[in-house]
Amino acid sequence: MCGIAGFIAGQGAADAGALTPMLARIAHRGPDGQGTFVEGPAALGHCRLAIIDLAGGAQPLYSEDKNLVIVFNGEIYNYKALTAELTALGHCFATRTDTEVLLHGWEQWGRELLPRLRGMFAFALWDRRAQVLFCARDMFGIKPLYYCRCADGTLLFASEIKAFLDHPSFEKRLNAAQLPLYLSCQYSPGRDTFFAGVEKLLPGHFLIFSDGIVRTTRWVQPAFLPGETPIPPSELEAVLRDSAAAHKIADVEVAGFLSGGVDSAYITALARPGRTYTISYAEPRYDESFSARALARSLGVRNRVRRISPGEFWDAVPAVQYHMDEPLADAAAVALYFLNREASREVKVCLSGEGADELFGGYNIYRDSFTAQWYDRLPPWLRGGLGAAAGLLPPGPGVNFLVRRGCPLEERYFGPTALMTEREKRRLLADYEGDGDPMFLTEALWDSTEGLDPVSRMQQVDINLWLAGDILLKADKMSMAHSLELRVPFLDKEVFALAAALPAAAKANARMTKIALRQAAARTLPPASAARKKLGFPVPVRDWLRQEPYTSRVRAAFARPAAAQFFRPQVLHSMLNRHLHGGDCWRQIWCVYSFLIWYEQFFGA
């Protein structure tokens, strides 16, 4: 696991001095060493976190004839099998690192290397003779990669946007058009970012930069194609056990994260890491440490619990927003910040349970199509009218139900944590013309799933937007902020092949989510752990917002000039007061607060 950064100069030769501050900005991603390649227009840099081939895996790495140069972030779990295959084809390996299979694999197969890879990756490969840059990202988007075409023709690329800030060709400008999308989704969705001109290389895409032209192409599209034949729990467990074993390949200790939920519990049971880490709070309603400790004891693994106080939680928000690069209103990111920091004091690698909900149908909203089916049988015009009327009322359980069920699934669903409606954004934003509707991002995804069951259709939206834009991004940024590699065994191409074929009835019903996964987990876990209700890494922000000094922190942020620049201050204060007097709009408040704190980090005076 590492960080990569570099550029292809638009005019003349690359300035080696411009690469130094880029790497300094992301040094937290790889404190074990730095390497650079600068020649002609190309400058490639690498910050290394040594996990495999500790002595011989330094980057940039070169092909045998020195024509190809690569910098790589991630892990290739089938690199030993690929090494054997390529050796049989006549390739000679100089290291034991997984990075080298990318060079030889490119020489042997070109772009067809990508579907052969089992792992997480973002890499940049420079062809010195052809003067072509090739970048690629894994199918789920586990590892991030950003790029920017500057006004002078220079192409920048890096694992984190902050690496661009000190480059002389980069002009830092806010992309305010991303704000309405963020207010709907609680993260920055799609290809664009909050920095004008900076784009994400989307999951499952590659980029080619040649003759001054940037071309991006999708090389894989994960798709849910549910079958009708049930998959035995034993078969699912065998695939997951194999993935857990593959994700433990390392030359250093591999530990694990453990919450009270079935996802991390099952990975822990299959992988049996020597030690695990858990977050706790003083507030019992949000604390999963008791069940995590009990499971750790039953499995015979050590468990370290890190209790987070409200004061240190709020104090860490600026650092979290800085490391995220873009604003993120997922309060679990702050908890992850502390969890990763605790683990990094003892280990370099941890396993985590991200991806299980998207692959196996774990979100409670997936149960929607199985509940209140009588209501869905009402005429569309009646449901639409009731939904429109309910939208004029303050949010609440019954109101939310009417609004949500007032229009078809494909018109209302853009993720499991849909936040602000278009009406709410018009009321809140100082200037909004209605061009930030997230449905613009989901239309093609819904079209591609025509004819599938509702759960599979929602999964397809989530695996393309929510998973990469929130879940995996915060996992990467919060782990790498503390020089820790996070591995996600559920997000494995072999696991996905099986999960994608699960029948609809094996995912969710009116009472339960992740049905097939829970059945498989029950073969290994105690019954209570396999059946435990999803809590979603809960954080007590809802309660803390009603306490001092945290209410005053938010109120002060809402009174600053930046708040008035983007929002209507009276609406912000009204929202906070409503929450203080029994309303429940903490997520909307936290969303705005997180944006304002992020804005201070990157655009403040």
- Closest C-alpha among 56, 41, 9, 45 to residue 159: 45
Q: Is 350 a catalytic residue?
A: no
Catalytic residue among 2, 135, 148, 585: 2
CA dihedral sign of residues 303, 307, 312, 314: positive
CA 580 to chain centre: 32
CA 192 to chain centre: 15
Neighbours of 302 (CB within 10 A): 13
Burial degree of 499 (CB within 10 A; 0-12, 13-18, 19+): buried
Distance between CA 469 and CA 462 in Å, rounded? Answer: 9
Q: Is 327:175 a contact under the CB 8 Å cutoff?
A: no
Host H or E run for residue 529: helix 527-531
CA dihedral sign of residues 450, 453, 459, 465: positive
Mutual angle of helices 262-271 and 233-246, in 10-degree steps: 70
Strand partners for 126: 69, 133
Q: Most distant CA pair in the chain: distance in Å?
A: 72
Strand partners for 68: 127
Mutual angle of helices 550-558 and 586-603, in 10-degree steps: 60
Q: Give per-residue burial for 418-448: e unless 16+ CB within 10 Å, then b.
A: bbbbbebbeebbeebeeebbbeebbeebbee
Q: Which amino acid appears at position 22 of this protein?
A: M
Strand partners for 213: 210
CA 313 to chain centre: 21
Would you please indicate which residues are annotated as catalytic (active-site) residues? 2
